[in-house]
Homo-oligomer: A and B are copies of this chain.
Amino acid sequence: MDFFYRSSIQGQIVMTQKLQNYIDGEWVVPETQNYIEVTNPANSEVLGSAPDSTTKDVDSAVQAAKAAFKEWRQTPVLTRVRYLHRLKELCEERFEEISAICVKEAGKTLDEARGEIRRAIESIEFSFSVPSLMAGFKVEDISSSIDETAERQPLGVFAAITPFNFPFMVPLWFLPTAIACGNTYIMKPSPQTPLSMQILFEMLDEIGLPEGVVNLVHGGVESANALMEHPDIVGISFVGSSQVGKIIYTKSTSHGKRVQVQGGAKNYLAVFPDANLDAAVSNILGSAYGCAGQRCLAGSVVVAVGDVYDEFVSKLKDKASNLVVGNGLDNSSQMGSIISEASKTRILGLIEQGVKEGADLILDGREHEIAKVEGGAFLGPSIFTDVKRGSMLSREEIFGPVLSIMRAPDFDTAVEIINESRYGNAASIFTNNGGYAREFKYQVDAGNIGINIGVAAPSASFPFGGKKDSFFGDLHGQGDDSVRFFTDHKIVIERWP
């Protein structure tokens, strides 16, 4: 009676009623009776439903992962990584299929989805470095005839709680490196976008990992809480809003875990008169409206410095008003939909609030033509100008296709404006001046700095920066930081008689 999602033929996607969890090497029907409907936000089509797993369902996954740990840890790291070599190959083979699924569940355009899958593969590729990066260190004769070693060892069961906006990429920031290091893993994706994880776990199943090494648990709040509270989970990685993230951070630490939380953002883009303006406009357009602004690295406020303001606004408005908004599967679409009607309603409220607080809505996304679609949570690009310091538009994360433009008389004021934010995810500067660039990256209190770059997304071998309310913890996702998060030093001090 129960069916789960399957892509029975490569490239040919078949939707069925109910997703299953993947635990201990098998697809299993969870004990929960509650399911969450998964909808394509571009046309309201129901794509399937995901189980709202219970504490008991989570415990099954933890028991499987815990049991698998002992042997997996003893498997040589070179062998562990070879499974990930194979995973990469499968991702390449099913590249277009995964991209299409991401479009359907998340509403983005096909090119955006392809970019996401490419980044996801880069995270897998990063895990190929683990045999070198997880080496411990040793000093002979640290005292007379005593040698000391810091062994790097895996820790046990880790879990991730991931968001809807990059349903395939964000889980792969964590899982490959975690298991390459010798840990076992539980993935709990967003219940809004569980489909691409289904493909990931099909591939993880195909590569023949020992049972229990990787596990997939679909669900909402109950399953998230169960992960945070479970005594046999040693660490949690979370990506989502700052509000939820702070709760995750406190709750998980209160259960003694190591935690890394990537939260929300309000990213500023400073444009200087000496910048290459056409390039800046083009980069900022992509930053503000790519993925319909639903990225933690999306540009949200432009600070136009000095006399560049008018020309910049004019060029930007011109380009933005011509963006083709429509179903992501349509190749001509340059911008897709909002993740849900609820989210669209929230954004519409913020636009109204922006108008009320006196900013000038020079481009109104609500009136943007939407190409060839019926239904769907669409919204065109909006631009507010003359946004004031301290206003809602200058402070709050909108997570939608709304860009605010502020004026700053000079460099120092621009930096001041940026550093007033409670968030510290990303900030960019557009200039030709080496000195401005240096002082910008030195003074701006954000974790990812772009210099003539619209979206300052760190590569997989670099930690994903984040400061203030955009990050809680100390070891970030990606790069060597993640290898450290997924291992611990054991100190061995030896003297032989």
Contacts and interface: CB of A to CB of B under 8 A. Distances in A.
A462 B476 contact: no
Count of chain copies: 4
Contact of A88 (B85, B246, B279): B85
Contacts of A122: 78
A452 B148 contact: no
A40 to B, nearest CB: 32
Given A137-B138, A433-B433, A472-B256, A78 B125 contact: yes
A490 to B, nearest CB: 6
A132 B132 CA distance: 9
Interface in A304-330: none
Contacts of A76: 141-144, 146
B491 A463 contact: yes
Interface string A447-487: 11111110011110111110101001111100111001100
Interface stretch (A58-66, A206-214, A435-443): A435-443
A80 B405 CA distance: 40
Given A88-B85, A133-B129, A479-B150, A442 B491 contact: no
B493 A85 contact: no
Contacts of A448: 490-491, 493
Interface residues of A, number: 99
Contacts of A133: 129, 132
A349 interface: no
A16 interface: no
A459 B148 contact: yes
Contacts of A438: 147, 494, 496
Contacts of A134: 139
A469 B145 CA distance: 29
Interface stretch (A3-11, A247-255, A368-376): A247-255
A135 interface: yes
Contacts of A279: 497
A495 interface: yes
A488 B250 CA distance: 21
A238 interface: no
A138 to B, nearest CB: 5
11 contacts: A73-B141, A77-B139, A77-B142, A135-B461, A140-B153, A140-B442, A150-B479, A253-B472, A451-B492, A465-B490, A465-B491
